[in-house]
Amino acid sequence: MHLPIVNPVLTRELFGRIRGRNAWLILTGYLTIIGAITLLVYAVFVSSAIPNDPETSLRIGKGIFFTVMTVSLIQVCFLSPSLTAGAIVGEKERQTYDLLLASLLSPLQIVTGKLLAAIAFALLLIMASLPIAGLALLFGGITGQEVFIGVVGLLITAIAYAAIGIFWSTVMRSTLGATVMAQGTVLVILLLVPFLYFVISLLIGAFNDPLSPLYIYAMGTFLCLHPFIALGMTVNALESGNGPFLWQLSSSIGDLFVPSPWLVYTVLMMVVTIVCLGLALRRIQPAEDDG
């Protein structure tokens, strides 16, 4: 039995990512962007604050926290697939792919080693941004539930989108092509989901009539494919008094209890991760002809 921690692919990838020059450049740029935007948000809230208003501190705390989480999520969405887009196809370009297949490593070890190294680096970026988000705790206005859900959302997004990058890395014949397709897939998810939701809802008249249970469950699940919508709906649910695990909605047949959007999003992204890794494993076989 081979444990991921002793996976030589994982060890090599981690050393390459952490010791490389690009690692500190990405980390510095990542934190600089988050810090600059957070400072601007703080300045806006302070300049527009009402003197002696006890709610000012709470609004600043919420503003800082959700700004950091939003900016972090944007960067994770586009950085995670880029970290893995060249994982397999890069070996082909360096002409080391056949050597990798000829080793004693199984396709599962190769894929998990590449994926875990990318996730570890993405996790480093997420953890590095938490001290900035933690400034919100000094002002108040957020709860431990919101912090936990925000971190889980960032992590599960990093894992799923890194798996998408791995899949395209096994399909395309160049790192550039794999990166374009991985980034394109992310853009399709972010743009197509709200567009289709609006069009379908408009066609069936969902904005005018009471919502049916089928519409709530089907379109709610569809919307939860979008990280910003799923996590945003969760924030609204928490602020409206709903719990972190169940959400009460009104329908045409009465009140319905549905899972909290962040839970649905987590499950969907786990499915996306498994499907992408499964497809990648099918393409990484010692007998395949790259021709």
What does each C-alpha distance from 130 to 25, 44, 62, 112, 133 come to in angstroms? 19, 21, 14, 26, 5
Please determine, for residue 243, whether its predicted confidence score (pLDDT) is greater than 80: no
Torsion sign across C-alpha atoms 73, 75, 79, 81: positive
CA-CA distance, 233 to 261, in Å (whole number)? Answer: 7
Banded pLDDT at 254 (limits 50, 70, 90): low
Residue 291 is predicted with a pLDDT of 40
Q: Which residue has the higher pLDDT, 271 or 138?
A: 271
Half-sphere exposure of 29 (CA within 13 A, CB side): 8
**H helix and E strand count, the chain:** 11, 2
Please determine, for residue 19, whether its predicted confidence score (pLDDT) is greater than 80: no
pLDDT digits (tens, 9 = 90+) for 207-219: 677 777 788 888 8
Contact 149, 123 (CB under 8 A): no
Residue 202 is predicted with a pLDDT of 85
Q: What is the pTM of this model?
A: 0.86
pLDDT digits (tens, 9 = 90+) for 151-206: 899 999 999 999 999 999 998 888 899 999 999 999 999 999 999 988 988 888 77
Q: What is the DSSP letter of 245?
A: S
Residue 6 is predicted with a pLDDT of 65
Contact 167, 89 (CB under 8 A): no
Mean pLDDT of the 21-26 span: 76
Own/partner contacts of 106-110, CB < 8 Å, gap of 24 or more, are 106/2, 107/281, 107/284, 107/285, 108/281, 109/2, 109/4, 109/7, 109/9, 110/9, 110/284
Please determine, for residue 95, whether its predicted confidence score (pLDDT) is greater than 50: yes
Mean pLDDT of the 35-55 span: 78
